[in-house]
């Protein structure tokens, strides 16, 4: 089996793409009488429309869990539809310690068969290490996020998060979540870390694609740029994904 590091690199190279499509199927985007089956069908349409353009997919657990057990069945079906040719990241933001974290890891890596998961580092190394034990599975640790109020906590702690991830990266399967709406912070983090980045905030949130590529150009083979709403809710999903990928490739080549 490929290590997560090598599978990530291979997926990016094979697709000539750093695009991660965020599957945030918000029921509020649809009519008030939308049914779960409608959302399932829409999510499968998103995958089918973007498969040739995406290196990775990132289902956000919030939009599945709110449907209870049926939502988790939907997640299983979606992951099966995506298959093994793309990186699948569970955007779960889990952050518990010890035995609890081991059970979360077992759920997402062994039951749902995701390749990676997002993790909240607030509880320290104990909340990260159980996810890192298998080199075939990846962990993206929240470092600098795009939400406006994050700076109240993150401005003083992101360097500690970098140290934490460096210390828990024995299996070379740890990365960082770094939002694209804060270029100065991204530059600071990149100057201190060579880890893979998962970068949200481009698209509907207004992050700068060109500068994001420039900051990460030396690490482009391990960088994923997540786009959700501006692709998955476009009138023509396939065209939106293609257009974004062409812009991304232009920035990389330029």
Q: Which residues are catalytic?
A: 93
* Cβ neighbours around 251 below 10 Å, total: 18
143: left (phi over 0), alpha (psi -120 to 50) or beta: alpha
Q: How far is the C-alpha of 21 from the C-alpha of 237, rounded, in Å?
A: 11
Q: Classify the phi-psi angles of 197: left when phi > 0, otherwise alpha if psi is within -120 to 50, otherwise beta.
A: beta
Under 8 Å between Cβ of 17 and 222:
no
- Provide φ and ψ at 185, rounded to 5°: -70, -40
Residue given tokens 């998961």 in the structure block: 117
């Amino acid at each position: 089996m490929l290590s997560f590091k090598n599978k990530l690199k291979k997926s990016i190279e094979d697709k000539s793409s750093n695009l991660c499509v965020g599957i945030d199927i918000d029921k509020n985007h649809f009519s008030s009488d939308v049914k779960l089956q409608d959302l399932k069908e829409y999510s499968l349409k998103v995958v089918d429309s973007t498969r040739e353009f995406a290196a990775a997919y990132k289902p956000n657990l919030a939009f599945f869990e709110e449907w209870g057990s049926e939502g988790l069945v939907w997640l299983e079906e979606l992951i099966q539809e995506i298959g093994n040719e793309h990186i699948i990241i569970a955007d779960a933001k889990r952050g518990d310690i010890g035995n609890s974290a081991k059970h979360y890891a077992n759920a997402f890596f062994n039951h749902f068969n995701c390749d990676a998961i997002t993790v909240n580092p607030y509880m320290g190394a104990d909340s990260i290490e159980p996810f890192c034990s298998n080199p075939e599975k990846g962990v993206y640790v929240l470092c600098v996020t795009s939400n406006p109020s994050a700076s109240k906590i993150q401005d003083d702690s992101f360097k500690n998060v970098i140290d934490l991830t460096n210390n828990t990266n024995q299996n070379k399967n740890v990365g960082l979540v770094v939002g694209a709406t804060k270029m100065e912070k991204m530059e600071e983090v990149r100057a201190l870390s060579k880890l893979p980045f998962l970068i949200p905030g481009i698209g509907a949130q207004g992050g700068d694609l060109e500068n994001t590529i420039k900051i990460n150009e030396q690490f482009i083979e391990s960088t994923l740029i997540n786009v959700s709403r501006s692709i998955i809710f476009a009138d023509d999903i396939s065209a939106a994904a293609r257009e974004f990928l062409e812009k991304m490739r232009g920035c990389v080549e330029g």
